[in-house]
Structure 1
């Protein structure tokens, strides 16, 4: 067994300086992209909403493009001796590119896709502030924890943000019009796909539908 070489699974393997509480907090923030992906997959399974499905698909394409950029540029990380278990190159930062895509897409979705009646102005500002804060913290963590240089993080943020804008515009103005046809197709009916495009407030719609169903079930003929 002494001759066997072991490799760390880098998905959750985040290192920070021992005793550095701020570094530990930033290390936890590196989990944000993973939590976002898990949340999106959960929404896809539970709601089967086409826009959420294409949102997740865009995230996956963004990840694939990051792998292509990294293998093509092949720029080393700033301090490979600090994180010897990380074998991938550093340009562009994967975390920064993911958060750039997430932030750009979410902001456009919030202000263009959703009807103004869906969320109040204060809630929109809160979600916008949360997206920017999470993106900033994750990007700063990659530099502070010596995983990337500032230029690698900025490159990832720019690529991800640009792709997020382009992907949203493609979905909004080219693909959304085909959602009803997709839902009515055999595959759409088999997978029970849904299109919430014309519903102003999904939470209120679902709540009202459930309450009406319960009232109908509770009314029994004499």
Structure 2
């Protein structure tokens, strides 16, 4: 006896674009930005155990939860798609891609401009403003891609972007003014020691700090090896 099944694709990475449309292809890949970014954050958390990165990632998931709640409450349908396209079962207001990307971009720009070390001159800090402009450009590109590819309307994308900006701002201020005060306590707790949690919030340039100390430790071990 043959049992017939109804098949449904996993829609996490399902993004369609018109065949032969090179701009559509580029925008389809760009729309993966929030997913790839979250995967990158998870990798950093597993490798570095930095509390600020963990808190940032938690904010991304909280922002996504807010999006799901609002979607189920509003139940606003997505725009009508062309025949033959896969119909997404989720609602469209607000756009989850736009909200997630806006949250990430807002938080990162505030972190780069307010939390990272400051150089002696504006010219030396020029890379920060260039990076922020690139992030804003990516955010705008992701939002545009959702409309161009027919997954959302402009109002759905605009609502998602606004919510993402507000959530990113609120979460950054909460972390900056309150949660970061407990990072050192958590890192030095028994649980923090077991999980190898780190508090790097007081170090102005983590990359340079690690470079200097790893180089010093490597040189020290080489000398000990040579003296044996």
1:190 has 2:194 as partner: yes
Shift of the alpha carbon at 1:2? 7.2
Query: Retained in 2: the 8 A contact 1:117–1:201?
Result: no
Q: In the alignment, which of 162, 168, 172 is matched to residue 166 of structure 2?
A: 162
Shift of the alpha carbon at 1:84? 3.5
1:113 has 2:115 as partner: yes
Structure 2 portions without partners, runs of 5+: none
1:177 has 2:181 as partner: yes
Moved over 3 A (4+): 80-85, 117-120
Shift of the alpha carbon at 1:46? 1.0
Give the TM-score, by structure 2 length.
0.93
What is the Cα-based RMSD across aligned positions, in Å?
1.7
Counterpart in 1 of 2:10?
Answer: 9
Counterpart in 2 of 1:95?
Answer: 97
Write the deviation string for residues 158-182 of structure 1: whole angstroms up to 9, x where unpaired: 0011000000000000111111100
Shift of the alpha carbon at 1:212? 0.3
Counterpart in 1 of 2:59?
Answer: 58
Alpha-carbon separation, structure 2, partners of 1:43 and 1:32: 16
Counterpart in 2 of 1:136?
Answer: 140
Write the deviation string for residues 187-219 of structure 1: whole angstroms up to 9, x where unpaired: 101001001111111111111111100111111
Query: Retained in 1: the 8 A contact 2:119–2:125?
Result: no
Counterpart in 2 of 1:153?
Answer: 157
Give the TM-score, by structure 1 length.
0.95
Counterpart in 2 of 1:123?
Answer: 127
What SS class does the counterpart of residue 134 from structure 2 fall into? helix
Query: Retained in 2: the 8 A contact 1:63–1:98?
Result: yes
Write the deviation string for residues 131-170 of structure 1: whole angstroms up to 9, x where unpaired: 1111011000000000000000000000011000000000
Alpha-carbon separation, structure 1, partners of 2:174 and 2:113: 16
Counterpart in 1 of 2:215?
Answer: 211
Shift of the alpha carbon at 1:80? 4.3
